[in-house]
Amino acid sequence: MTYTVEMPRIGTADAWRDAARSLVSNDVPPEQVQWTTHDAPPSLFGGSTALPAPRPISVPRSFLSMANSVVWHSDPTRFAQLYAFLWRLRQNPQRMQDRADVALASLRRMEKAVHRCQHKMKAFVRFRELPNGSAQRRNFAAWFEPTHHTVEPTAEFFRRRFADMNWLIATPDVTVQYADGQLDFTTGQPRPDLPPDASEELWITYYQNIFNPARLKISAMTSEMPKKYWRNLPEAASIPALIAGAERRATEMALAAPTLPRAHAAPAKAQVDSFASRWSGPVDQFEADLQNCTRCPLHCHATQAVPGEGPEDASVMLVGEQPGDHEDIAGRPFVGPAGQMLDRVMHDVGLDREEMYLTNAVKHFKYKPKGKRRVHQRPNSGEVTQCRWWLNAEIARVQPKLIVALGATAAEALTGNGKAITNRSGRVERHDGVPPVLITVHPSFLLRAPSPAARSEAEDVLRRDLGAVRSMIEAHK
Ligand code: URA
């Protein structure tokens, strides 16, 4: 028998999960399922078939988390791809860890595209105030055109950010409205006529002022702020003129530059700046700015800066020391041997890497060349202090409830206390201005342990501490 399952436009994630559970638990193979969407021609499949009652099954949490994103992709085959993978996953649960699995790679690409689209939505939705609000509760509306179906999974972010006003985000796909503490989803609509907003003028002026012509990289800019979003961004109207005048403005800026302070004043100034200022660019600009970082000399020899990665609303942030040789080349944290060790321990204690935000105290790889090898060097306090600026920005953005400091460098960066961590591991330290910090050993400490006994002792510590993180997450669910 062939089952036809129609996915609704609203509530897609729950609908897919319920249908997949019912089908897979009744051993219905993928080739007996036709997945259709609300907008597929009705005559093609002749409506939904009743599904068998679900039976209890268990599915890896990492798959559920991936599926929760993939369902919002615009690829019409996403439901079938997910189900086919789930079917094979039941035969071999290790498949989620198989980086060579082509089907998994395709799902991961979709997941990433959805995350990116959510990120763009958070950065590029521009609200305009409507005249019908009250002094207690103002009303705002925005028009946005997402690439994927990201209104529903991103609505919670806007609810948390703008809880004290009523707002509506209209898109051609789904419209979400927030009023009286309630989120409501309805099907999409044509672009509404929104009034111009007084704050828009201010935003355009601000954008024109922060635009630095000397650092203009058009390809980086259009990759961070793709042109398709420009038509709904008030500030974008001034971009072509700003680009055209960039060379002239850069020359004027160079001619008008103040004389440089005397050399011995520079380190003191850098120190003062690093304490006084906070990175405050638009969220979407973070990675581009990080790549231009020259706050300490480590950028001179590293291939690239390595930003953190993970969900923007992760409740737990893991902070390592600095990227290693593999991370420096890949541009991603914890993908080399220490990362694999960390993955293994996290998996064993039931933590899902995809739910964590992983980053480093220092964003550039510090090393000493030795023949063909690049040998890791521990960053010094000055480098850690300079890079704390970027770590602060990531903490402010993600707002984790708990930070895990992996090793002494991360502990120093987060707590300001550079003492050895031997007696501090397993403890949660609290310091002003940072979420609670749980200190534990770095996974590379396990790899470098001088004997199997020392390694197993260190592994027990890491396992105990990450196990405690798992329990904390469970307790707050
Ligand atoms: N070690 C770290 O501290 N971070 C990485 O990203 C990789 C290895």
Residue type at position 365: F
Which is more confidently placed, 42 or 236? 236
Mutate to test the pocket of ligand 1, among 444, 447, 448 (most ligand atoms within 8 A of CB): 444
Last residue of a domain, one of 81, 105, 121: 121
Mutate to test the pocket of ligand 1, among 298, 321, 359 (most ligand atoms within 8 A of CB): 321
Query: Ligand 1 centroid to 320 CA: how many Å?
Result: 5
Q: Is residue 26 part of a domain?
A: yes
Whole-number pLDDT of residue 147: 94
Least confident piece of the model among 93-102, 119-128, 266-275, 296-305: 266-275
Q: Report pTM.
A: 0.49
Atom number in ligand 1 closest to CA 410: 3
Query: Ligand 1 centroid to 206 CA: how many Å?
Result: 37
> What is the full DSSP assignment across 167-219?
EEEE-SSEEEEEETTEEEEEE--PPP-PPP-HHHHHHHHHHHHH--GGG--HH
Atom number in ligand 1 closest to CA 338: 8
Last residue of a domain, one of 187, 218, 233: 187
> Does residue 378 share a domain with residue 288?
yes
Q: Is residue 34 part of a domain?
A: yes
The dihedral sign for the CA sequence 443, 449, 454, 456:
positive
Query: What's the token pair of residue 257?
Result: 């530059």
Give the pLDDT confidence of 433-445 residue by residue, as tens digits: 899 999 999 999 9
> Does residue 21 share a domain with residue 163?
no
Query: Ligand 1 centroid to 322 CA: how many Å?
Result: 5
Whole-number pLDDT of residue 133: 73
Atom number in ligand 1 closest to CA 321: 3
Per the structure, how many domains does the chain have?
A: 4
Query: Ligand 1 centroid to 334 CA: how many Å?
Result: 5
Whole-number pLDDT of residue 395: 96
pLDDT at 199 over 80: no
Query: Ligand 1 centroid to 240 CA: how many Å?
Result: 40
pLDDT at 161 over 50: yes
Mutate to test the pocket of ligand 1, among 304, 334, 421, 442 (most ligand atoms within 8 A of CB): 334
pLDDT at 379 over 50: yes
Query: What's the token pair of residue 222?
Result: 């259009």
Whole-number pLDDT of residue 16: 96
Q: Phi then psi for 125, rounded to 5 degrees?
A: -70, 130
Query: Ligand 1 centroid to 155 CA: how many Å?
Result: 33
Q: Cβ distance 434 to 424 under 8 Å?
A: no
pLDDT at 264 over 70: no
Q: Which domain CATH number covers 318?
A: 3.40.470.10
Please report which confidence band the pLDDT of residue 266 belongs to, taking 50, 70 and 90 as the band edges: low
Query: Ligand 1 centroid to 323 CA: how many Å?
Result: 4
Atom number in ligand 1 closest to CA 332: 6
**How large is the average pLDDT for residues 242-260?**
60
> Does residue 342 share a domain with residue 324?
yes
Q: Is residue 70 part of a domain?
A: yes
Last residue of a domain, one of 74, 97, 121: 121
Question: How far is Cα 428 from Cα 430, in angstroms, rounded to an integer?
Answer: 7
Which long-range contacts (C-beta less than 8 Å, at least 24 apart) are formed by 414-420? Answer: 414/319, 414/361, 415/439, 418/381
Query: Ligand 1 centroid to 69 CA: how many Å?
Result: 27
> Does residue 448 share a domain with residue 299?
yes
Question: How far is Cα 334 from Cα 309, in angstroms, rounded to an integer?
Answer: 10
Whole-number pLDDT of residue 136: 74
Whole-number pLDDT of residue 178: 94
Query: Ligand 1 centroid to 384 CA: how many Å?
Result: 14
Whole-number pLDDT of residue 31: 96
Query: Ligand 1 centroid to 60 CA: how many Å?
Result: 26
Atom number in ligand 1 closest to CA 333: 6
Mutate to test the pocket of ligand 1, among 309, 317, 322 (most ligand atoms within 8 A of CB): 322
> Does residue 467 share a domain with residue 375?
yes
Angle at 73 between CA 72 and CA 77, to 5 degrees: 115
Q: Cβ distance 374 to 301 under 8 Å?
A: no
Query: Ligand 1 centroid to 403 CA: how many Å?
Result: 15
% of the chain with per-residue pLDDT over 70: 83
> Does residue 337 share a domain with residue 214?
no
Mutate to test the pocket of ligand 1, among 345, 442, 448 (most ligand atoms within 8 A of CB): 442
Mutate to test the pocket of ligand 1, among 306, 346, 356, 360 (most ligand atoms within 8 A of CB): 360
Range of the domain at 430: 275-475
In angstroms, what CA-CA distances link 355 with 93, 352, 476?
Answer: 18, 6, 14
**Helix (H/G/I), strand (E/B), else coil: 68:** helix
Question: How far is Cα 185 from Cα 178, in angstroms, rounded to an integer?
Answer: 9
> Does residue 162 share a domain with residue 230?
no
> Does residue 309 share a domain with residue 380?
yes
Q: Is residue 343 part of a domain?
A: yes
Ligand 1 pocket (Cβ < 6 Å) reads 320-324, 327, 333-334, 336, 338-339, 360, 444
Whole-number pLDDT of residue 259: 46
In angstroms, what CA-CA distances link 452 with 447, 448, 459, 464?
Answer: 10, 10, 10, 18
> Does residue 356 share a domain with residue 371?
yes
Q: What is the mean pLDDT of the chain?
A: 86
> Does residue 406 share a domain with residue 297?
yes
Atom number in ligand 1 closest to CA 334: 6
> Does residue 250 share a domain with residue 156?
no
Whole-number pLDDT of residue 260: 45
Query: Ligand 1 centroid to 364 CA: how many Å?
Result: 10
Which is more confidently placed, 217 or 472? 472
Q: Is residue 266 part of a domain?
A: no
Atom number in ligand 1 closest to CA 407: 3
Q: Cβ distance 170 to 143 under 8 Å?
A: yes
> Does residue 425 share a domain with residue 298?
yes
Whole-number pLDDT of residue 41: 62
